[in-house]
Structure formats: structure tokens, C-alpha cells
């Protein structure tokens, strides 16, 4: 589906260099995951990420758009949250430099191609649908709605998907319409290939159904303890995913130890 892009081509669009030989590629969802858990654990984990920038290549993988990611970085800087190296935003439809938040066009061209014409077509189809209200965010390469399960007719999903798109319901309140086959997992795998990163060094973490595609890649995955029940139900089908007992950042740390990355964690390991 995605055309080959070289690491060099991607790096030309980045405002800061990537670590040359990262020991860990940590791919975190934001809400409920990197932004989840106690404030004490968040501060501890963010300080560790900031200190380990050369050994840990950090990727945000979120449903938020870039403006919303910028707001998180601004508001949580006071807790020590540093910019990641890369951002996968809009549930896999956007790829950007973590530091500058500048788009990485070569990574998005294949996604743009799949989305061409869909927005106009589907915006009309999805006007005034009971249970769906458009979210006030930028909607490049996807459509984003707030979702009410009680008033939405789920038979509509097949009719929408017949137009060559995927519908994704997450956290029982978000409804995304995405280019067919594009999700957090597909964009992550493409990025890992382009950057020639060793899949054995990758750990993903998430908490809602829009993270399922990351867990289905077969990469090591951490489902944090506060994951939504519908996601936890999928655990038996996800042999490389670990369900943490702890929530948010503490759960990520627990998962990193489970997958053998405890040696990178220093003092944090003893705190758990
Ligand atoms: Mg989340």
C-alpha cells in the first residue's frame, strides 16, 4: 500500500536528528496512557524520557491532531514532558516531527492518495446522522465525530465503509472515518520500515480501541491497567501484548520491565 521512502528522505523533514542506534523505540498513545496514571509517576517517567533521548526514540501515536498535540506539550511541560522524536497523529493519518510538529510529507502521500475525494463524499453522507456530531478539530485525511452509542444506528457502518474507508469507534465516544487500511498500526509499521528500526526494540502502549491496531501488529505492546473494557476483551487474541496492573505511565514502566527493558530504567525500576 505504501510506497518506499528512505530514512534520509524522512529525516530531511525533521527539525532534530533521531538517535542513531536507539536501544528502545517507545510508541505511546497520549490520553489515558502517557497522560495517564498518578502525577508522581508521570513526572518521574517524563524526567526519564527527557534524560534518555539518545537511547530511547519516543513516538507519540495518538488520535489527537497536531494542534491538540501542541497544546498537550505546552500544558504538560510543567510536569517535565518533553517533545517526542516523532508524532503519529489523527489515528495514523498524520506523521510529523515531534520537535517542530512540521509535517513529514513523504510519509503522508500514500495516505493522502487513499483519502482523495472521500472527505467531500462522506461529509455529505454524514450530515445530521443521529449519534454523530463533528468534532471541532482539523480533519485532514480523516473525519472525526463524537459518538453516542445509544442513538447511533450501527447498520450505517457497513454503508459508510462501502465507500472505501474504515470506521473506528474508540472509548465509546469517538467515531473516526479513516482511509481504508490506515490506522495507528499501519502507519507505525511503515515508519519503522522507512527508518530501518529493529522491531525487536519496539514497545507500544495504549488504552482504547484505537490502539488495538498497534497491538495487532505483533510488536510488543503494553495495555495499561486502565484500558477500556472493550479493549481488554481482545487480550486473548494479542499474544505479544501485556496487560499491566498499573495505570498510565506506571503501567508503561511495568510493561517495559516485562519486555526486558528494565535495564534502561535506572531508579524507576525500584520504585515500582
Ligand atoms: Mg488513549
What's the CA-to-centroid distance between 150 and ligand 1, angstroms?
Answer: 22
Which of 128, 149, 179 marks a domain boundary? Answer: 179
Choose one of 137, 154, 179: the last residue of a domain.
179
Residue (of 247, 266, 264) closest to 35 by Cα position:
247
| Residue whose C-alpha is closest to residue 101's, from 75, 76, 73, 137 | 73
Q: Are residues 62 and 21 in the same domain?
A: yes
**Residue at which a domain ends, from 179, 209, 224:** 179
User: So what's the pLDDT on residue 67?
Assistant: 95
CA of 128 to the centre of ligand 1 (A): 27
Computed over its alpha carbons, how large is the radius of gyration of the chain? 18
**Helix pair 184-194, 105-115: axis angle to 10 deg:** 140
Q: Is residue 7 part of a domain?
A: no
Which pLDDT score, from 0 to 100, does residue 4 have?
65
Give the model's pLDDT for residue 267. Answer: 85
130 and 192 share one domain:
no
Q: How far apart (Å, rounded) are the C-alpha atoms in residues 65 and 88?
A: 9
Order of strands, sheet of 202-206, starting from the edge strand that comes earlier in the sequence: 94-97, 86-89, 56-61, 24-28, 202-206, 220-223, 241-243
Cα 36 to ligand 1 centre (Å): 9
User: What is the reported pLDDT for 271?
Assistant: 80
Number of domains into which the chain is organized: 2
Q: How far is the CA of 12 from the centre of ligand 1 (A)?
A: 30
Distance 211 CA to ligand 1 centre (A): 7
CA–centroid distance, 43 to ligand 1, in Å, is 18
Within 13 A of 247's CA, how many CA atoms are on the CB side?
11
Strands (E), the chain: 24-28, 56-61, 86-89, 94-97, 132-134, 143-147, 165-170, 174-179, 202-206, 220-223, 241-243
Cell numbers at 136, concatenated: 471541532
Cα 29 to ligand 1 centroid, rounded to whole Å: 5
d(CA 193, CA 167): 26
Q: How do beta strands 174-179 and 165-170 pair?
A: antiparallel
For residue 150, what are the domain limits? 112-179
In angstroms, what is the span from residue 9 Cα to ligand 1's centroid? 30
- pLDDT (tens place) for every residue of the chain, 272 residues total: 445 678 888 899 998 889 999 999 999 999 999 999 999 999 999 999 999 999 999 999 999 999 999 999 999 999 999 999 999 999 999 999 999 999 999 999 999 999 999 998 998 889 899 999 998 776 789 999 999 999 999 999 999 999 999 999 999 999 999 999 999 999 999 999 999 999 999 999 999 999 999 999 999 999 999 999 999 999 999 999 999 999 999 999 999 999 999 999 998 888 88
Alpha-carbon span 110 to 126, nearest angstrom = 24
Residues paired with residue 174 on neighbouring β-strands, in sequence order: 146, 170
pLDDT the model gives residue 217 = 98
In a domain, 204, yes or no: yes
Q: Which residues make Cβ contacts (< 8 Å) with residue 117, sequence separation at least 6?
A: none
Same domain assignment for residues 217 and 103:
yes
Does any domain span residue 198?
yes
Residue 31 Cα to ligand 1 middle (Å): 4
How close is the Cα of 146 to the center of ligand 1, in Å? 15
Per the CB < 8 A criterion, the answer to whether 28 and 59 are in contact is yes
Count CB neighbours of 154 within 10 A: 10
With beta carbons less than 8 A apart as the criterion, state whether 216 and 188 touch.
no
**118 and 250 in one domain?**
no
Amino acid at each position: 500500500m505504501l510506497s518506499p521512502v528512505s530514512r534520509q528522505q524522512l529525516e530531511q523533514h525533521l527539525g532534530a536528528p533521531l538517535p542513531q542506534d536507539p536501544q528502545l523505540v517507545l510508541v505511546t498513545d497520549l490520553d489515558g496512557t502517557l497522560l495517564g496514571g498518578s502525577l508522581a509517576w508521570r513526572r518521574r517517567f517524563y524526567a526519564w524520557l527527557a534524560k534518555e533521548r539518545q537511547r530511547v526514540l519516543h513516538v507519540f501515536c495518538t488520535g489527537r491532531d497536531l494542534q491538540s498535540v501542541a497544546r498537550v506539550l505546552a500544558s504538560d511541560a510543567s510536569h517535565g514532558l518533553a517533545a517526542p522524536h516523532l508524532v503519529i497523529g489523527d489515528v495514523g493519518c498524520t506523521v510529523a516531527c515531534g520537535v517542530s510538529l512540521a509535517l513529514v510529507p513523504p510519509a503522508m502521500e500514500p495516505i493522502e492518495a487513499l483519502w482523495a475525494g472521500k472527505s467531500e463524499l462522506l461529509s455529505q453522507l454524514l450530515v445530521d446522522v443521529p449519534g454523530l456530531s463533528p468534532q471541532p478539530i482539523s480533519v485532514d485525511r480523516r473525519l472525526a465525530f463524537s459518538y453516542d452509542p445509544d442513538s447511533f444506528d450501527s447498520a450505517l457502518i457497513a454503508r459508510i465503509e462501502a465507500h472505501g474507508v474504515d470506521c473506528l469507534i474508540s472509548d465509546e465516544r469517538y467515531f473516526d472515518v479513516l482511509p481504508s487500511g490506515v490506522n495507528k498500526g499501519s502507519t507505525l509499521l511503515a515508519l519503522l520500515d522507512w527508518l530501518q528500526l529493529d522491531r525487536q526494540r519496539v514497545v507500544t502502549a495504549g488504552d482504547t480501541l484505537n490502539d488495538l491496531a498497534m497491538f495487532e501488529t505483533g510488536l510488543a505492546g503494553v495495555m495499561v491497567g486502565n484500558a477500556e473494557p472493550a479493549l481488554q476483551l481482545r487480550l486473548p487474541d494479542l499474544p505479544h501484548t501485556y496487560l499491566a496492573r498499573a495505570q498510565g505511565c506506571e503501567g508503561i514502566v511495568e510493561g517495559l520491565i516485562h519486555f526486558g527493558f528494565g535495564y534502561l530504567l535506572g531508579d524507576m525500576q525500584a520504585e515500582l
